Amino acid sequence: MSKIAAIKPFGQSIWLDNLSRGLIASGELAKILKEDAIAGVTSNPAIFYKSISSDPLYTGDLAELKKQDLTAEQRYEALVVPDIQATCDLTRSIYDETKGVDGYVSLEVSPTLANDAQGTIDNAKRLWAEINRPNVMIKVPATPAGVIAFEELITSGINVNVTLMFNLVHVDNILTAYIRGLEARAAAGLPVNHVHAVASVFLSRVDSLIDPQLEAIGTPEALALRGKVALSFVKVSYQHYKKLFHGNRFAALKALGAHPQRLLWASTGTKNKAYSDVMYVEQLIGPETVNTVPDATLALFRDHGQAANTLDTNIDAAIANMVAVRQLGINYNLAGEQLQQEGLKQFDEAFVKLLELTK
């Protein structure tokens, strides 16, 4: 068994954070789905910019699309929607075998709509209909407008991957919006057993922002927290998840066959060379969660990662770490808002570059 596949028995699903036409056509994607028990695929504007700009399999189709009277965004979608459909077809057996728990492929709504709730709803519904696969997830950001859109999409029965979550406010807002959306479906007499969503919590960017602040404070207590804040935040978030979805609030929906909104770990490639290169995978393995992992980190874990149930360990220490951060004068909620805005900007910039390719 591969070291990556060894994670599955601990209840965590590993999804690949990459997609390209070449990855599909070469058979490489099918190979890692099988050998490493990869259970889903995620994409974003930066991933598709890299794919379309470097993969020759897009060249002919893009040249033909440029002859047509289409906007740059329409050409982009005409290129990537078939890739999403093909990947959904490739992962459909996983979706069927897991009864809809896994086998998902994510496509993001336009990043330009991050603060436009109705625009996000309309864009997501259009993409959902166009892709026309039960195992697609439409990605929306956890902005205030995104929370509104997300709730409506869940009520409409659309699978959603909520992205760019960095603090407990984001986590609680999204998880409770999911429950409200399902409650609205149930109240309307609609089925809730086929609706699935994940909540993507970002990791390495947290430590990249907080570590320099800890170093600037410079006390032994502050320095001891370096590289621990993102991991601690995730462990605390997971406790919130368990309390919400295994408690009274979700009980009535669960009786109707509803599924919890699993937390998903994103941005899991280690940026600081001083830390373990698999820390955001190895230290956060636990039931009812997903980790979406880039190729490079998958290769590292395949080489020397160790699978164990680590997510539900050292919870008291994680809580103490988050308290210590606050006592040092670092406002974690504000840091989360800053990181979300920076993430939105990065996705927006990648989307602009992407549309330059398809002009």
Concatenated DSSP letters for 178-216?
A: HHHHHHHHHHTT---TT--EEEEEE-HHHHHHHHHHHHH
Note the pLDDT of residue 239.
97
Return the number of other C-beta atoms located less than 10 Å from residue 63's C-beta: 9
The residue-averaged pLDDT of 250-257 equals 97
CA angle 119, 181, 311 (to 5 degrees): 105
pLDDT at position 331, please? 96
For tokens 């728990």, the residue is 101
CA distance 301 to 305: 4
**How would you classify the pairing of strands 160-165 and 197-202?**
parallel
Active site residues: 139
Q: State residue 321's pLDDT score.
A: 98
Given this model, what pLDDT does residue 231 score?
97
Are 127 and 106 contacting, i.e. CB atoms less than 8 angstroms apart? no
Torsions phi, psi for 61 (to 5 deg): -65, -40
Q: What is the mean pLDDT of residues 326-337?
A: 96
Q: How does DSSP classify residue 109?
A: P
| pLDDT tens digit sequence for 266-315 | 999 999 999 999 999 999 999 999 999 999 999 999 999 999 999 999 99
pLDDT at residue 181 in the model: 98
Specify the amino acid at residue 49. Y
Beta bridge partners of 201: 165, 265
Residue 1: pLDDT band (50, 70, 90) is confident
Q: What angle do CA 46, 338, 208 make, to 5 degrees?
A: 70
pLDDT band for 320, please (50, 70, 90 cuts). Answer: very high
Select from 272, 205, 260 the least CA-distant residue to 234: 205
pLDDT value, residue 238: 98
C-alpha atoms less than 13 angstroms from C-alpha of 315 in its C-beta half-sphere = 10
Give the integer Cα–Cα distance in Å for 161 and 199.
Answer: 6
CA 39 to CA 92: how far, in whole Å? 10
| pLDDT above 90: residue 23 | yes
Residue 285 three-state SS: coil
Mean pLDDT of 344-352: 94
pLDDT tens track for 26-82? 999 999 999 999 999 999 999 999 999 999 999 999 999 999 999 999 999 999 999
Of 341, 178, 342, 163, the C-alpha closest to 253 is 178
The radius of gyration of the chain from alpha carbons, rounded to an integer in Å, stands at 20
pLDDT tens-digit readout, 214-230: 999 999 999 999 999 99
